[in-house]
Amino acid sequence: MSFVDVSRRSFLALSAAAAGSGVAIPGLAVAQPQRVLPENGLQGRLWKTLKIGMVQVTGTLTEKFAAVRDAGFDGIEMDAPGMNVEETRRAIADTGLPVDGTVNSSHWQIRHTDADPAVRAKALESLTTAIRDTHAVGGHSVLLVVGHGKDGAEDEIWNRSIENIAKAVPVAARYGVQIVIENVWNHFLYNHEGDHTQTADKYVRYVDQLNSPWVGMQFDIGNHWKYGSMGDWIRTLGRRVMKLDIKGFSRKDSRFTRISEGDIDYADVRKALLEIQFYGWVAAEVGGGDAAELKRISAELDVAFGLV
């Protein structure tokens, strides 16, 4: 066998390995498979939910759950700590509407970024209690605002909050409940006085530092439209996006709006979600209202995500 034969065989083997791994080899052009987006878009990939505080229907919790179900939602998010676990379990059993997750009820006031270790200890207790309560009602995620920029310099509050939240990760793993960080106007991980050209790079570094499959993002599509491209933020966050929140926002008027109003580029958002192969829950986070209003919000979700 000649040197040429051996070299050719090695080249072919190397080419096949590179094509399978996606690794680029200098001087070797490897054709990459082109991802084809599904023709039916996001249909069958998203499940609609909303915050319990949006349900302005009189009656028992069971009656509220029934109104949410009848409005076309697939689940509901409760607040924890603070929800009545037994009452919630009865409402689930009576209506068939699951609780997909909760929102940590004290995260704005009792923060993981606080300079006082005693306050951070309370924040940790609140988060771990929320995880256990969420598990008790069959939910799988706790939405968390990690803190606020007013608590100190970015590197200080970054390290404080990472250290504190990391203590809750073993609890999240034990109970099978994800800690999902929401991007909010909290003067942290973005420039609050900046323009619309900002990226999600700091959110990526923050989530990755926690380094756990039980920690990701509940990415709010409306919250940072003022500061960047929501489609590009979704692409940057990629697999870290575990759930979604949605509200409208108008850059022209610099205000939050109904889901169907404002100027968010929903077409690009839908494309980005397909590109990262997202499957999961999307939570409406708007004003809410009575049964008729809940149906209207549900319909707005359908239109925004191309579900009809």
What is the SS3 assignment for the chain? CCHHHHHHHHHHHHHHHHHHHCCCECCECCCCCCCCCCCCCCCCCEEEEEEHHHECCCCCHHHHHHHHHHCCCCCEEEEECCCCHHHHHHHHHHHCCCEEEEEECCCCCCCCCCCCHHHHHHHHHHHHHHHHHHHHCCCCEEEECCCCHHHCCHHHHHHHHHHHHHCCHHHHHHHCCEEEEECCCCCCCCCCCCCCCCCCHHHHHHHHHHCCCCEEEEEECCCCCCCCCHHHHHHHHHHHEEEEEECEEECCCCEEECCCCCCCCHHHHHHHHHHCCCCEEEEECCCCECHHHHHHHHHHHHHHCCCC
* Mean pLDDT score, 112-122: 98
With bands split at pLDDT 50, 70 and 90, how would you rate the model's confidence at 40? confident
pLDDT of 31: 54
* 52-108 pLDDT, tens digit each: 999 999 999 999 999 999 999 999 999 999 999 999 999 999 999 999 999 999 999
pLDDT in tens, 194-231: 999 999 999 999 999 999 999 999 999 999 999 999 99
Domain ranges (residues) in the chain: 1-34, 38-304
Question: Hey, what CATH class is 38-304 in?
Answer: alpha beta
